[in-house]
A and B are shown apart, each in its own frame.
Chain A
Amino acid sequence: MQRLQGLLHSFPWLSPLILFVVTFAFFSILNPRFAEPGGISILIQQTAIVAALGIGQTLIILTAGIDLSVGAITILAMMIMATLAANNGVPGLLALLIGIAMAVAAGFLNGILVTKVNLPPFIVTLGTLSIFTAIALLYSGGSSIQQDKLPRLLNFLGEGFGPRGGLRLTWGVVLVVILYLIVGFALGQTAWGRHVYAVGDDPESARLSGVASKRVLLSVYTVAGLIYGFAAWALIGRAGAATPNAITDANLASITAVVIGGTSLFGGRGRLIGTLLGALIVQSFSFGLSLAGVNQQWRLLATGVLVLVAVTVDQWIRKVKS
């Protein structure tokens, strides 16, 4: 038992991996369609958006912060891209870049409020959640913009490759995988990544050991904004429209993925791959229970139980005697 505890402590991504394998096996036995190539493709596509948002959320939670404006920034960027292209005749590439730039600016604003005005991240993003949502609604007039009014570039991430009914992936999924590889490398292999962990662990001692804590924090919020901008692009392709009604549960879904993925809400501990696994686990439950004909209430209940189990296991692992 102690050896298991030690093992899980050394590899924080191991417990979500085990949980995912168990979940996957369980639903595959329950309904063979779940594990067929067609089923796996759908699971991956359904997970992609929350998984992408989870990257930004992980970065921020690693610094002991939290981001409640995830969904709002994504919707803002999506509506800006689509409105510019559909209503103002801006070329697709330019509209996309402006949309992503606005997401970066939104993340940067969160960062400034956290580092320069010294407000707690929870308060900052609680405020900007409403502000960004309102701007998105005001700017877009609140209505959806259908796919056929948008240039192909904005819809592109919804297009896919691979046989129908077989293992079929969209370019949106490919983009999310690339984002995981890049941010995973930056966190694990660069000085910036080490600083993110250090700031999350103890900002004061990080500062004393020469890390520019505030600059690192500001960069984390800004990078998170950039990732939400890419997620907005992928979301247009997935929904078949740009709509301010999308991803109403993005904030809690992304935080849930991070927590189940084994990243500590107190900062400084966790792995990005855990978040990907966390998002996959939650979506497996949702998709698997749906295949089994189980109602939505039970899917929600399952998610709640998962969070509590994951955090309990995490607490137990951290009690390891060093």
Chain B
Amino acid sequence: MHIRHVSSSRTVRRALASAGIVGLALGAAACGSSDSGSGSSGGTDKIGVALITKDSSNPFFVAMQNGAKADAAKQNVNLTVASGKQEGDDQGQITAIEDAIARGDKGILITPMSTGVNAAIKKARDAGLYVIALDTPPDPANTVDITFATDNRLAGQLIGKWAASTLDGKPATIAMLDLFNDKIVSVDYNRDQGFLEGMGIDVADGKKNGDEAKTGKYTGGKGGDYTIVCNEPSNGAEDGGRTAMENCLSKNPKINVVYTINEPAAVGASTALKAAGVNDAIVVSIDGGCAGVKAVKDGTIGATAQQYPLKMATMGMEAIASIARGGTKPTTSEGLDFFNTGVALVTDKPAAGVDSITTDAASKICWG
């Protein structure tokens, strides 16, 4: 994924607009097929679709599963939901892919765990299944037919810009709470590096966390000095976020900017900050789940980038059903190698130069 330096607000509008257009096109295709279905028996055949998430406990994936289940009946889709046991369980996903092939499903919606599942995805496509990656683009992107995802890079850039603007020229002492640091996952580096790009920090290799200069100048907002204290793995969970934050604070208690991979990690981090008596740190995150939006509202998190997992799952399923009934294939958003399902910055403290929506608006469209 290439690095973009265009104005984020323009990119958001463009992304949202293109999402709307393709959404309409998909909707039309789905309508068309169900119309023809009422005339002939073709459309009434149940289409088998497998939804394979990373785990079944992250609210993000739970929202995805529930949304897809609710929509499956309407689309006359036979949906099978499966997942890995936890983040990092490649084998669980591979088994689920093999099951889908054996079951004769027409397509697979998958949030790929890592490059470890690429071979299994290829096997599914060779067997004639249409594979859509949800949320996490695989590496390389053409491993699947198409990806329906949040632009994680843009999501990172939005919170980075907001953090830089909010600092108002003050020095930034930054803690980076990533997902892992022993595995390379695209969502991990896109959010992390996107955040730094948003801050206006040179990221060196844009696909590698932690290789940037540890000190220097950030150019976002009014600009100023920065220090990156740590890159710690949080596993995207509360207890991991807490341990990671404690480790970072032990290295440097003056941390005033905390990037977190997702809101559960942010909640854990803020527990650690509170315990250490640090009240003025800017915590930013990505996800936009209802709990996360609430955390922004009560000030635990300063700003979060909201994404729309329900839309990813339902649109993905509708696309597979449509293709199986002779409809057209979806295409990627303009300028991206995936189909962007949209992202918006949520905060009650808007910053100059960054478009955002309020927590009240965000809580109406949040998930989980």
Contact = CB atoms under 8 A, between A and B. Distances in A.
Interface in A20-62: 33-34, 38-39, 42, 45-46, 49
B56 A46 contact: no
A141 B59 CA distance: 9
Contact of B264 (A38, A165, A245, A295): A245
Given A46-B243, A296-B182, A297-B182, A146 B267 contact: yes
Interface stretch (A94-102, A120-128, A268-276, A286-294): A286-294
Contact of B246 (A45, A239, A248, A297): A45
Contact of B242 (A34, A142, A239, A297): A239
Interface string B7-22: 0000000000000000
Interface stretch (B34-42, B231-239, B319-327, B343-351): B231-239
A245 B55 contact: yes
B86 A240 contact: no
A175 interface: no
A247 interface: yes
A39 B251 CA distance: 9
B299 to A, nearest CB: 12
Contacts of A291: 247, 250-251
B44 interface: no
Nearest to A46: B243
Contact of A137 (B57, B239, B268): B57
A143 interface: yes
Contact of B235 (A141, A240, A248): A248
A165 B58 contact: no
Interface string B235-259: 1111100110011001101000000
A49 B239 CA distance: 11
B181 A246 contact: no
Interface in A289-309: 290-291, 293, 295-297, 300
A296 B233 contact: yes
A287 B247 contact: yes
A143 B268 contact: no
A144 interface: yes
Given A33-B250, A144-B291, A297-B182, A246 B237 contact: yes
B368 interface: yes
Contacts of A146: 267, 291, 294-295
Contact of B271 (A33, A133, A147, A297): A147
B62 interface: yes
Interface string A226-263: 00000000010011110111111000000000000000
A158 interface: yes
Contacts of B270: 240
Interface in B141-164: none
Contact of A240 (B57, B87, B271, B298): B271
B277 interface: yes
A240 B181 contact: no
Interface in B84-126: 85-87
B247 A243 contact: no
B232 A168 contact: no
A149 to B, nearest CB: 9
A293 B230 contact: yes
B246 A46 contact: yes
A246 B275 CA distance: 19
A129 B55 CA distance: 16
B3 interface: no
A147 B270 CA distance: 12
A293 B85 CA distance: 30
B50 to A, nearest CB: 18
Contact of A296 (B180, B294, B368): B180
A243 B277 contact: no
A142 B276 contact: no
Interface in B335-368: 368
B230 to A, nearest CB: 7
A158 B272 CA distance: 10
Nearest to A240: B271
Identify which of A235, A246, A291 gathers the most chain B CB atoms within 10 Å of its CB.
A246
Nearest to B247: A290
Given A146-B267, A290-B232, A296-B233, A247 B239 contact: yes
Nearest to B62: A142
Interface string B151-191: 00000000000000000000000000000111000000000
A291 B59 CA distance: 32
Nearest to A130: B85
Minimum-distance CB pairs A-B, first 3: A240-B271, A164-B277, A239-B238
Interface of A: 33-34, 38-39, 42, 45-46, 49, 133, 137, 141-144, 146-148, 158, 160, 164-165, 168, 235, 238-241, 243-248, 287, 290-291, 293, 295-297, 300
27 contacts: A33-B250, A42-B246, A42-B250, A46-B246, A49-B239, A141-B62, A142-B56, A142-B59, A143-B368, A146-B294, A158-B275, A165-B253, A165-B277, A235-B239, A238-B271, A239-B271, A240-B271, A241-B238, A241-B264, A245-B58, A246-B239, A287-B250, A290-B232, A291-B251, A296-B180, A297-B182, A300-B182
